[in-house]
Structure 1
Amino acid sequence: MKQTSTRHPKTHRPNTLRLTLTTAILAALSPMVVAADAAPAAAAADPQAASPDQGKNAANAAAKDTQSLEGIVVTGTATAGGVKKLDASFIITSANAEQIKQANPKSTADLLKISPGIWPESSGGQTGANIEIAGFPGGGDAPFFTMMVQGTPLYGMSSLSFMDSSSLVRLDDTVDRVEIIQTGPGVLYGAGQMGATANFILKQGTSEPSGSIAVTYGDEGMYRVDGFFGGKLAEGWYGSIGGFWRQSDGVRSPQFKADDGYQLTGTLTHDLDNGSVMLWARTLQDKNQFMVPTPLIEDAHGNFSKYPGFDALTDTYGSRAIQNVQLINPAGGYESANLANGRGANMNFFGGNFDTEWNGWQISDKFVWSGGNLNTNALFSGPNPKPLGDFVYGCNWSGAAASGFCDSTGSITDGNTFNLPLSTNVNTSGFPLSQSIITQGWWFIQKDLRNLNNDFRVSKEIFDGNTLTAGVYLAHYTDDDNWSLGNPMLMTNTPNAQPIPLSYQQGGNTYYLTNPQGIYYNSGPGYSYNIVEHGTGNNKAFYLADSWRLWDRWLLDVGSRVENISVNQRTCNQKNVNLDGNQYTLYDNAAQICDGTYTTLHYDKTHPSFTAGLNYEIADNMSAYLRVSSGGHFNDFDNGIRGSNGDFSPMQKIRNFEYGFKYQSDWAYLDIVGYHRQFTGLTYGATDNNNVPLDCSGTPTATSGKAQCTAIFGADTKGVNFHGVFTPFENFKVDTLVAYQDGHYSHQNGYATLTDINNKPFQVSFNGQPLQRQPKLRYFITPSYKFVINDDFNIMPFVTYTHVGQRYQDQTGQQPLGKYDTWDFGIVANYGKNWQFRLQGTNLTNEIGLTEGNARVAGVANGPGGILLARSIEGREINLQAKYQF
């Protein structure tokens, strides 16, 4: 069995890495260039490929004009040349490099907030975000979101357990702009994502050398250097290189570096007589703390406040004392894990775009290879905190009744206890029984990813005003995983927690309830899940799209895609063993490891997608459109395939109906969309309200003798997205976003059985409950004013007010997360042609804003005293940057 190393490779010396990137790009480029140069000349322009040619520069300028209906967008379009926003009959948001900075994103995922209808829960840190799309019931990871660079998805599946595609990208000065689309033509091209897709388009070299170097300091102890340089290498050849290096103690300091790493990106572009070819390469080496929910107090009115001694905005359980641990290796024995390695990335990418025209045919090809490790070293929440005495002795302890964890009969109300007799004299390592403690899962996931995909398409105008496009998308990818999950660690319920080892003496022998680091694996309350798995996937898709300008102002586009996925997955079977052979080390006497056998599954599915849009250009400055689309979401290695025993979960499907209006004048830019989304494919084990299992006819299984039904339900959502930019007078601008949705679960027959905070089953119907963790109303407003002091000096201050409405933790709708409001700000000063200074800050008022509750329990999640485990946004953070541009 191949084991993935937990060590992050040493930082490459910049000169060595630059040479490696350049050599790889040149080697891969040369055969493509020879073939392309031999083709007949024709006029073609790709706004994604910068060049000194005047026409291409104009196309690039149009693409960067992100708040103009004359601006060009290339994502979700059939041809490389893209379409004007005025003609785009789908939801699309775009932002250039300056607008990205002004959005004050805390992470790559957090930038998605600029697209109304997308709700990124970025409170977990730089990586591992949950990304919610209006009308798409998610609740974890990001299955309905795909990240692309240069129009190419970075992995063959949109999401896996412990991998959302936003974790594969970091924001830096190599990004020229981003385009974000929702539903619509996204079901046709590339990965065929039926939810949302973000496409990051890179800066490239131009005929005039340009670049920048920036130094940033953040008040959380963050130091960062950004750089970019691009220019002409030879006639028709252009190159660029750039990236960042950053270290940070974190707003929530874990006593080691919360963020530590770099990203380096290089591009090479060659202009052809009839098109262009562009290659890019990137290495990402980053380590990022993953934030676990912390304790808060919820009152009877659903308001949240800080837990005594624990700041929900700035504190974390992470500490040096729990940083380095020994965990069960699923292959047998133990392995080392380091919390400082966090939920980071050790990934490399190599991709390219080739666009040309030959004899009236437009030809486009995009590819990317990616490979590396995306490991997770992190804490994950468990039961609510309680006194140590309650945890060790249960209701046998004299203080248990006062703690609220014992009922009137003296029985424990939850299962989070060893429940030992009081006569057992447990050594608590000097901690009193009154000490507030918590058990956190110390999880270690080693994930080795490999991917190669290619999107090839040809387009031809078959008659005046009608262009037909045909394409093929192919993807081959693998995933090798080693999981050590569970591993409950007993620790103090304090910032920068301390582990609590437990042992006791009996019959002249010492029995160890936990190891010296407070971990008890699966010998007590809690669980472990340890596996080794390997997955291989292949996707094949064919799509056909037609764009027809019916009359002067009417544009119809219709497209269909048929995709097949074929997956082979092998997961080890498990057994419980006494891992160290010592009967007195109770913590590993029933350790779960692989037993040497495997369960192999083959998943094969084919599904069509469809979209059609009709756009009417009312005037040169306004348009309206209608669109319908349908798409499907395949199962992935970790969700719907592994553990299914061949009874695979059904595909999740969407039907989307939307209508939009765009308008622009000297004083306003408006983009308004209404939609109706019907989702199906969610599953649950059917029971009645007495927890009696039912078959698919609604008959108790004990009566029918049939298996319990895996029933299907869905969701129905209507909503409105609004984006407006108002410029009532020169230099003053107000940027406004409003997202409203009314989404509910539907079509559930019977009841589902879930487990509550006290580890007790309960029955619930999801019908009519709001989609979990999605705000019904979210909006922000950003006014800014540019003060022009003189020709060489201007200052632009701006402030952003954001409102996030009520959300609920899970499908039951029983645990509210509340609503909150935040204030962010920025001041940008430009001096001369070269210098820029930027002061920006987030959450200035230190607002507690919950994005996630305790994902390990269902229903009401607060316990005695209103204590709740939940994850808030971070507290106030301010940074200052000085940049030199040339």
Structure 2
Amino acid sequence: MNTTRHRLRAGWVTVVSAFTPVLVQAQQTSPEAPAAPATGLETVVVTGSALGGVKKLEASYNIVTANEEQIRQSNPKSTADLLKISPGMWPESTGGQTGANIEIAGFPGGGDAPYFTTLLMGSPVYGMPTLSFFETTSIMRLDDTVRSVEILQGGPSVVFAGGQIGATANFLLKTGTEQPSGSLGLTYGDENLWRLDGFTGFKVAEGWYGSVGGFYRTSDGVRDPQFPADEGGQLTVTLKRESDRGDLLLYARYLNDKNQFITPIPLIQSGTDSFHAYPGFDPRTGTYYSKAIQHVRLPGYPNGGTTADLANGRGADMWFAGANYDHEFDSGWSISNKFLANAGDADTNALFSGTNPASISDQLYSISTALGGFELPAGSATATFVGGGAVAPTQDVIHQGWWFIHKELKNFNNDFRLSKEVFDGNTLTVGVYLAYYEMADEWNLGNQMLMTNTPNARPIAVSYVDGGQVHQLTDGQGFLDYGTFNITQRGHAFNHAIYLSDSWRIDRWLLDASVRYENQDATNRVCNLENVNLDGNPLTIYDNAVSVCDGTLAVTNYDKDLTSWTVGANYSFTDSMSSYVRVNRGGHFADFDNGIRGSTNDNLPPMQIVRNYEVGFKFQNEFLYADISAYFRDFTGLQYQQTDASGAPTGVRLFHGSESKGVNFIGTLTPVENFRFQVVANYLDGKYTDYDACVPYTNLVTGNGCATIEGKQLQRQPKLRYVLTPSYRFPFEWGDVEAYVTYTHVGDRTQDQSGLQQLGSYYTWDFGVTSRVGENWQFALRGTNVTDELGLTESNSRIFGTASGTNGVLLARPLEGSEINFQAKYLW
């Protein structure tokens, strides 16, 4: 595998060398230089503004924008990975195309994406920002139908759209124009990626414009699972009506994409910031996934069992339909309405980490059951590979959960605004936000499969003799159990909010004050579980205690009100320099899985509340662009829930808080024509507060215990992160060539609230070369982590506390190795 990839990388040199004469011979008219970065202070942003749009110069909040070219230049591995262009945003995208953990500096998440909301044309794609096994970028894909993105942190987001207290990313679609335009691109990547992208925009009739676009791709992935790691595509259509008084935009999208969800792999830890390859396992390209464990039968799945396929991964099969309408009336009145409906499946077929690896002899006989071993009678077991062949006593093995979660989602929301210019410079807006959404799940967690601790693992079946009788420790597929948390779950919720916002322009001041009152009324129904012997045979150990629904339901009603508000003031010293201050208060509602499930109606968790204080400064001239902000964030109502080895909640919930202060910075230096140096950086000092007692935890590596969290660094968030990107554009008569390199430094982080498991720091190098030839052709060569750096984003999330065991063995998610792709695109 590695030899092949090194040959492919060397082949890129040949491709570029062969392509150079073609560029030299091209005699097309020189195209215009690429568009300037969409970070300019004259850029109009719509997210977070009640006015329907405001210049970045006057926006009194932290917002980062990127146009289509900048999105491509950032070369994101996934939709979540694009968020790295915003300082303070930390997407952990090592899990693959979907299922990222998204952290926002100063917001104490620690997994999934509770403080992040994805918007499509200004509408939230789901009523809650996250659920277990679902975060909203999982149903969003980047392609040539996306015109730009606006990423807003804190500030007015507590009032507008879904009322998110953390961050929102608003993806804006391309539409048709008077002059027909489009593009068709083909991409090849050295992980055997083939991708076709297309878009066309056109005039339908006078005042009516349409567009169609999308992509299809297949890829083996950098971590090759022996089946397609990513396979699927997306189709988007729009129809726009323009008039003198307003616009109507109708859009629809269908997404069907399957993506490998990458589980942690073994490494060796020899210090807080020193990690090395585990023997026989390349941390940059290895994966446990294989054809041998791809197809399984899961008898413990609710309602009689099911079959499952790892190739279905953590993908999405979703449709979207939306409508945006804006209209201006006489006498300063205007209305705006945004509607979105979407529904479909967002399933998970994936491995989830169990205990650390060991020899099969130790697993069977020496390691205690408290640490994931079996403590069988000495010499009693027979281990064979599924499909045939004896397993050597020294064979390195591991058992991991083969989890399947079927998730059906429905979402409908509408945001209506009525605005009136009360007097010159003052605009009052009243808005109503309504949302209805559903979730229907079937979970099959556990399913510990015994397998080789090798890339592309093989499953192992074990039987043993005790008391003269043969016991089956595993079934014929290698499963040690048929699930320990096999629930059915149905939830539905209504959110309704009313908000009022006033914006007042006084000379060089732009003042705004907004308030939002919201109610979330949710009901969740979860089946109660009992353990049963599935086949009635006590000698088949794997199914003697399978959790199944007992015919009764636990019904939890969650009905909470929240008032959020924000006040901001921006002063423009000149047309290229401004400063702002903002204060806001917001809250975080519980979701179906976090806060509602597991609660009773009289024991619901308290509302999470954040108070955010922010100051910022923006400046731009011919040579320099700078956007810097500093903040203080105070959280109350955070909760900790102890879980067992399968991730099921256990014990009582504990509540605490956090305090954070930090600085976000984005800047561009252009000292000479065609050269640009960009910096994206943030510093965070965040700590947990308000809980002095020892927190109990379950740990299958070092044993159960307790740890203090008071004063510990916010989990998973780097104290210091910066991205440096110098680029240079070489103009020629036939076109141009623009080249850049990106150096990224990610500082120290910890795995969980205890701070006992360090994740260290790392750096990466990326590059890109784009050539525009004549009016119509564009060629691009891009690479990520081209020096194959080893860096971690998380360790075993099933382990609280120290996750490295004997000899420093650690299960963790490292960065993927180098990935290089080449695209040829024709534009018209």
Q: Which category of TM-score, normalised to the shorter sequence, fits these structures?
A: over 0.9
Cα drift, residue 568 of structure 1: 1.0
Query: Which residue of 2 is the match for residue 56 of structure 1?
Result: none
8 Å contact from structure 2 (residues 701, 803) kept in 1: no
Deviations 1:763-789 (A, max 9, x none): 222111100010000001111111012
Deviations 1:568-605 (A, max 9, x none): 11111111222233343221122111111111111100
Query: Which residue of 1 is the match for residue 647 of structure 2?
Result: none
The whole-number CA distance in structure 2 between the counterparts of 1:353 and 1:710 is: 42
- With over 3 angstroms needed to count, the CA separation of the structure-2 counterparts of 1:600 and 1:685, relative to structure 1, is closer
Secondary structure of the structure 2 residue equivalent to 1:818: strand
Q: What is the TM-score normalised by the length of structure 1?
A: 0.86
- With over 3 angstroms needed to count, the CA separation of the structure-2 counterparts of 1:207 and 1:64, relative to structure 1, is farther
Residue among 830, 846, 850 paired with 2:788? 846
Letter in 2 for 1:422: A
Letter in 2 for 1:171: L
1:493 correspondence with 2:433: no
The whole-number CA distance in structure 1 between the counterparts of 2:51 and 2:406 is: 39
Query: Which residue of 2 is the match for residue 172 of structure 1?
Result: 143
1:782 correspondence with 2:720: no
Query: Which residue of 1 is the match for residue 444 of structure 2?
Result: 484
The whole-number CA distance in structure 1 between the counterparts of 2:170 and 2:641 is: 38
Query: Which residue of 2 is the match for residue 52 of structure 1?
Result: none
1:836 correspondence with 2:796: no
1:572 correspondence with 2:503: no
8 Å contact from structure 1 (residues 625, 660) kept in 2: yes
8 Å contact from structure 1 (residues 579, 591) kept in 2: yes
8 Å contact from structure 1 (residues 810, 858) kept in 2: yes
8 Å contact from structure 1 (residues 260, 287) kept in 2: yes
Cα drift, residue 648 of structure 1: 1.4
The whole-number CA distance in structure 1 between the counterparts of 2:526 and 2:369 is: 36
8 Å contact from structure 1 (residues 194, 631) kept in 2: yes
Query: Which residue of 1 is the match for residue 674 of structure 2?
Result: 731
The answer for unaligned runs of 5 or more in structure 2 is 1-34, 643-650
Query: Which residue of 1 is the match for residue 569 of structure 2?
Result: 614
Cα drift, residue 521 of structure 1: 1.2
1:147 correspondence with 2:118: yes
**Which has more strand, going by share of residues?**
2
Query: Which residue of 2 is the match for residue 296 of structure 1?
Result: 267
8 Å contact from structure 1 (residues 781, 800) kept in 2: yes
Cα drift, residue 64 of structure 1: 9.1
- With over 3 angstroms needed to count, the CA separation of the structure-2 counterparts of 1:241 and 1:771, relative to structure 1, is same
Cα drift, residue 173 of structure 1: 0.3
Query: Which residue of 2 is the match for residue 274 of structure 1?
Result: 245
Alignment of 1:314-353 (within 5 A): 314-353=285-324
Query: Which residue of 2 is the match for residue 797 of structure 1?
Result: 739
Deviations 1:74-119 (A, max 9, x none): 0001032x00011000000000000001111110000000000110
Secondary structure of the structure 2 residue equivalent to 1:356: strand
Query: Which residue of 2 is the match for residue 68 of structure 1?
Result: 40
The whole-number CA distance in structure 1 between the counterparts of 2:707 and 2:371 is: 21
The whole-number CA distance in structure 2 between the counterparts of 1:298 and 1:752 is: 25
Residue among 368, 373, 383 paired with 1:417? 373
The whole-number CA distance in structure 2 between the counterparts of 1:756 and 1:584 is: 29
8 Å contact from structure 1 (residues 815, 861) kept in 2: yes
The whole-number CA distance in structure 1 between the counterparts of 2:517 and 2:113 is: 23
Query: Which residue of 2 is the match for residue 604 of structure 1?
Result: 559
Cα drift, residue 67 of structure 1: 2.1
- With over 3 angstroms needed to count, the CA separation of the structure-2 counterparts of 1:204 and 1:414, relative to structure 1, is same
Residue among 474, 484, 487 paired with 1:528? 484
Query: Which residue of 2 is the match for residue 659 of structure 1?
Result: 615
Query: Which residue of 1 is the match for residue 518 of structure 2?
Result: 563
Residue among 756, 759, 775 paired with 1:814? 756
- With over 3 angstroms needed to count, the CA separation of the structure-2 counterparts of 1:599 and 1:664, relative to structure 1, is same
Cα drift, residue 414 of structure 1: 4.4
The whole-number CA distance in structure 2 between the counterparts of 1:352 and 1:446 is: 29
Letter in 2 for 1:87: E
The whole-number CA distance in structure 2 between the counterparts of 1:774 and 1:292 is: 20
Secondary structure of the structure 1 residue equivalent to 2:670: strand
Alignment of 1:574-593 (within 5 A): 574-593=529-548
Cα drift, residue 755 of structure 1: 2.1
The whole-number CA distance in structure 2 between the counterparts of 1:626 and 1:113 is: 24
8 Å contact from structure 1 (residues 65, 71) kept in 2: no
Letter in 2 for 1:419: E
- With over 3 angstroms needed to count, the CA separation of the structure-2 counterparts of 1:229 and 1:64, relative to structure 1, is farther
8 Å contact from structure 1 (residues 296, 867) kept in 2: yes
Cα drift, residue 712 of structure 1: 2.4
Q: Tell me which moved more, 778-787 or 502-511.
A: 502-511
8 Å contact from structure 1 (residues 135, 679) kept in 2: no
Alignment of 1:678-827 (within 5 A): 678-684=634-640, 710-758=653-701, 760-790=703-733, 792-827=734-769
The whole-number CA distance in structure 2 between the counterparts of 1:656 and 1:625 is: 14
Secondary structure of the structure 1 residue equivalent to 2:671: strand
Q: Tell me which moved more, 474-483 or 527-536.
A: 527-536
Secondary structure of the structure 2 residue equivalent to 1:760: coil
1:467 correspondence with 2:427: yes
Cα drift, residue 195 of structure 1: 0.2
Q: Tell me which moved more, 752-761 or 480-489.
A: 752-761
Secondary structure of the structure 2 residue equivalent to 1:113: helix
Cα drift, residue 156 of structure 1: 0.6
Letter in 2 for 1:742: D
Letter in 2 for 1:750: A
Query: Which residue of 1 is the match for residue 173 of structure 2?
Result: 202
Cα drift, residue 505 of structure 1: 4.4
The whole-number CA distance in structure 1 between the counterparts of 2:143 and 2:802 is: 41
Cα drift, residue 501 of structure 1: 0.6
8 Å contact from structure 1 (residues 685, 753) kept in 2: no
Query: Which residue of 2 is the match for residue 33 of structure 1?
Result: none
Backbone CA RMSD of aligned residues: 1.5
The whole-number CA distance in structure 2 between the counterparts of 1:425 and 1:289 is: 34
Residue among 875, 879, 886 paired with 2:817? 875
8 Å contact from structure 2 (residues 241, 249) kept in 1: yes
1:504 correspondence with 2:464: yes
Query: Which residue of 2 is the match for residue 109 of structure 1?
Result: 80
The whole-number CA distance in structure 2 between the counterparts of 1:843 and 1:414 is: 39
- With over 3 angstroms needed to count, the CA separation of the structure-2 counterparts of 1:71 and 1:302, relative to structure 1, is closer
- With over 3 angstroms needed to count, the CA separation of the structure-2 counterparts of 1:119 and 1:678, relative to structure 1, is same
Letter in 1 for 2:474: T
Query: Which residue of 1 is the match for residue 20 of structure 2?
Result: none
Secondary structure of the structure 1 residue equivalent to 2:631: strand
1:385 correspondence with 2:340: no
Query: Which residue of 1 is the match for residue 13 of structure 2?
Result: none
Letter in 2 for 1:371: A
Cα drift, residue 761 of structure 1: 2.6
The answer for unaligned runs of 5 or more in structure 1 is 1-62, 395-404, 406-411, 687-707
The whole-number CA distance in structure 2 between the counterparts of 1:505 and 1:548 is: 81
Cα drift, residue 267 of structure 1: 0.4
- With over 3 angstroms needed to count, the CA separation of the structure-2 counterparts of 1:685 and 1:725, relative to structure 1, is closer
Cα drift, residue 855 of structure 1: 0.6
Deviations 1:653-692 (A, max 9, x none): 1100000000000011110101111111112479xxxxxx
- With over 3 angstroms needed to count, the CA separation of the structure-2 counterparts of 1:586 and 1:340, relative to structure 1, is same
The whole-number CA distance in structure 2 between the counterparts of 1:626 and 1:379 is: 46
Cα drift, residue 329 of structure 1: 4.2
8 Å contact from structure 1 (residues 188, 609) kept in 2: yes
Alignment of 1:85-124 (within 5 A): 85-124=56-95
1:436 correspondence with 2:408: no
- With over 3 angstroms needed to count, the CA separation of the structure-2 counterparts of 1:143 and 1:361, relative to structure 1, is same
Secondary structure of the structure 1 residue equivalent to 2:138: helix
Secondary structure of the structure 1 residue equivalent to 2:418: strand
The whole-number CA distance in structure 2 between the counterparts of 1:207 and 1:289 is: 41
8 Å contact from structure 1 (residues 118, 131) kept in 2: yes
Query: Which residue of 1 is the match for residue 826 of structure 2?
Result: 884
Cα drift, residue 606 of structure 1: 0.2
Letter in 2 for 1:845: T
Q: What is the TM-score normalised by the length of structure 2?
A: 0.92
1:642 correspondence with 2:597: yes
